[in-house]
Amino acid sequence: MNWRFAFASSEAALLVTTTTLLAAGGLVWIAHPGAARVLWAVATVVGLVPATVWVIGQFRAGRWGADLLAVLALASTLVVGEFLAGAVVAVMVGTGRLLETLAQRRAGHDLSALLDRIPRTATLVTADGPRPVPVAELGPGDRIVVAPGEVVPVDSGVTADAAFDESALTGEPDPVTRRAGDTVRSGVVSVGAAVELVATASAEDSTYAGVVRLAEQAGAGAAPVARLADRVAAWFLPTALAIAGLSWLTTGDAVRAVAVLVVATPCPLLLAVPIAVTGGLSLAARSGVVVKGGATLELLGRAATLATDKTGTVTVGRPEVVGVVCAPGEDAARVLALAAAVESYSTHVLAGAVVRAAAGAGLRPPSATEVRERHGVGVEGRVEGSAVRVGRAGDEGALPDWARGAASRGRLDLATPVWVTVDDRLRGALLMRDRVRTDAGRTIRRLRAVGLRDIVLVTGDRVANAEEVAALLGLDAVRAEASPADKIRCVRDQRRRGITVMVGDGVNDAPALAAADVGVALGSRGSTAAAQAADAVILDDRIDRLADVVEIARRTRGIAVRSAVVGTSLSVVAMIVAAAGWLPPGAGAV
């Protein structure tokens, strides 16, 4: 939190002004009692005006809370002339408001990263050659060129085989090869050579624009959060008014009623609770999690369910070769070298894993020629006169015994077999696995220990992979092959069971993060859009920080609740004493 900014705020100005007036009145009291009363009256008015504005705003939002009692106390001290009491209450109101400002959550989810990623111009192919045009002018049938690293501006058809990074929409890290005639969605990134596409939709009707609209709608549909202090004030305020009214009716002394309102001004709610929450935010930040406001921390302290992305969240997000299984008579090093020879020409993330595995084994793959990548099949080429293909095996029901054993081992190891075929004969299988984070299982156990009772894995990955990871971590349910809209539906289903936390790291997770009661993004490698749509950001690449911040939130809420209950109970005792005439307003305020 930027303290220099906070102390330049109107809340800081309120605290400084009321404190200065209170102190100045104290300094001149002995020599000029009348001047002191004027200074304290001004301090009371300075506190009353903004507090009244805040209460009116709360009424318009359909709620009320601790601030209303402060307004009644300030106004009543002015009416009966108890200006010292009013000045003390004004200082307390200013202090509490500043503390809450320091812990204030942002009013809405920030979608700037999603919006900034949208291309503003596209390269249109015309009879006179390529020329840049605004994306909004594109329509179905327009031919466009997308350079390597550029975002596809509109949903389009592919005119020639090309590779795309679709992680922004699917959350999966593997680049995908699309063949001529396939379609690609806006928001994906070209990772191969420049590619020519034919637009199939306008920018407004394309996929990525829909993701942005989902995030906007999800954020706008989030329910307002009631402060803990306001929930306590719901019963405390009527109690205070009843005691003050009864005192006035039975004694006819308005000063006693004012004294009741003054001691009832909820110091535990205006000060103790914000201090506890601010302390929790600070502790969370020191633990590597930035929580974007006190309301978020309060919600984390009451969280009941969790929805989590898979790739890059509970898994590392970087596949690797964890084993090589060979046909009888074949050499594992030879199979790996042949696979690396053709994969070295591919941009696919699995190809990178094969090349790294070969390098790690000290192998020097032979040269490959005639290499081509076939979408959904794999990479093939000629190596030392033989046709080598790395990818799917085709009819897995006809696999030989050793290959069926490799597939079974893959299921046990949560690994996917990538088959190596030489001259149309299976020679080996590379077992690929995106490792589950070492701290993921412990994190899930800690979350259950603090009270999260329903944990769901929601991912764009295949059903089999998702179910394997969920089984390993002991999760309660799986939503696989989920689009951003599916993730929002999952989060909303979870919210019916209680306060829901969503954890993710990709652009495709941003709408679900916005829809959740609390969205938590992994910030070190996750997308900026996810971090800005979230209510809390884990700054490093450790999922166990999630358990840390939930435990901190639970403890913070416990301290805040105890402060509120004990403090308001003592305030009730003080109100009874004031109603009996034994505690005047000035002393009661101090």
Q: Active-site residues: which are they?
A: 309
Check: CB of residue 156 under 8 Å from CB of residue 182.
no
Coil/strand/helix, residue 208: helix
- SS (HEC) of 470-533: HHHHCCCEEECCCCHHHHHHHHHHHHCCCCEEEEECCHHHHHHHHHCCEEEEECCCCCHHHHHH
Neighbours of 411 (CB within 10 A): 12
Take residue 334 and report the two structure tokens written for it.
């030879």
Rounded Cα distance, 199 and 124, in Å: 10
What are the distances in angstroms from CA 429 to CA 372, 399, 417, 560, 569?
20, 12, 6, 57, 70
Coil/strand/helix, residue 456: strand
Residue 413 is classified by DSSP as T
The set of residues, in sequence order, having a beta carbon less than 8 Å from that of 282 and lying 6+ positions away, is none
Take residue 39 and report the two structure tokens written for it.
């200074």
Rounded Cα distance, 473 and 436, in Å: 9
Strands 536-538 and 289-291: antiparallel
Rounded Cα distance, 480 and 226, in Å: 34
Return the residue matching tokens 């920080």.
Answer: 545
